[in-house]
Amino acid sequence: MEEISARIKAKAEQLIQDKKVKKEVETHKRVHFSVVGTEEIHSVIYDKGKNKWFCDCSYNSLKNKTCSHIVSAQLLLQK
């Protein structure tokens, strides 16, 4: 399992605190979130069937690493 850095966790918590994470829609297969990032609004999707998270930011899509946008959506989902 991937280790999430303290910096990513702190950034995610700040996104939650600043109310920049919004659950847009939930279906029986997926949950869609919008996250206001530093430069743009990111789309985060949780695929329930595959138990996988996806974000359109370059950190997640190019490096295949869990970004602060995904962690913030996970935190929101736990509430």
**Band (1; pLDDT cuts 50, 70, 90):** low
CB-CB contact of 69 with 54 (8 Å): no
**Band (7; pLDDT cuts 50, 70, 90):** very high
User: What's the pTM value of the predicted model, to 2 decimals?
Assistant: 0.94
CB-CB contact of 33 with 76 (8 Å): yes
CA distances from 76 to 9, 11, 32, 57, 62 (A): 13, 14, 12, 18, 24
The neighbouring-strand residues paired with 30 are 47
Strands 21-26 and 30-36: antiparallel
pLDDT digits (tens, 9 = 90+) for 17-65: 999 999 999 999 999 999 999 889 999 999 999 999 999 999 998 998 9
The neighbouring-strand residues paired with 54 are 45
